[in-house]
Amino acid sequence: MMSATPLLTGLTMVLLCLAFATVLLPLNRLPLAVRLLLIVVITLTVLLPLSEYPGWYYVRSIFGDSSITALFLYVALILQQNFSWQLYQENELVLLRRLVLAAALLLYPFALGVAQYDSYSLGYANPWLLTVLLILTLFCWYKKYYFLAVALTAGVTAWSLQLLESLNLWDYLIDPALLLIMILTWLRPSMKKIQPNL
């Protein structure tokens, strides 16, 4: 889906790996110079060739392509947790976690054949899904959850412009790696309490 160019795909996989490192490792407890060095090392490891293919090729083979919503979260998570850029509120992360979990429960069990209903088909220009997303975006804007409002708007805009390979709106909003990151942020509530030492 995010394979317009190898460089773009590689950069999205770099963001994914940096997001995982941010959630799994105590990077924000390290000095800034060490954090920057680790970010450079992770970036080079993902972009440079390993064996026959670049590192991002193997990451993508495991997790697949990233959604637009995920890319917004990865950038915000990396900057907020490692460099104290306040891009989202804690309440926004909680709401995003609930939305991703609800969408995953709506999509993935049916994709595995739990029932005959095909919830994935809702992503093909379904007016009800678009209406729900519009209401949700307006709610986020009203609550001053600007990060979430922009992320949802970007996902729908990218879908309307068909910027990814997929024609399905769900692929612009959610992916398995995003679900995993959301679960990990829930398991590590201490992330919000630890501020980087700059």
Domain ranges of the chain: 6-193
Confidence (pTM)? 0.88
CB atoms within 10 A of CB 4: 11
Other beta carbons within 10 angstroms of residue 89's beta carbon come to 16
3-class SS at 166?
coil
CA–CA gap between residue 31 and residue 38 (Å, rounded): 11
Distances (CA, A) of 51 to 27, 40, 121, 197: 28, 20, 39, 37
**End-to-end alpha carbon distance in the chain:** 37
Digitized pLDDT (tens) for each residue of the chain, 198 residues in all: 444 567 788 899 999 999 999 999 888 888 999 999 999 999 999 999 888 888 999 999 999 899 999 999 999 999 998 888 999 999 999 999 999 999 999 898 887 777 777 888 889 988 999 999 999 999 999 999 999 999 999 999 999 999 888 899 999 999 999 999 999 999 876 555 444 443
How buried is 75 (Cβ within 10 angstroms: 0-12 exposed, 13-18 middle, 19+ buried)? middle
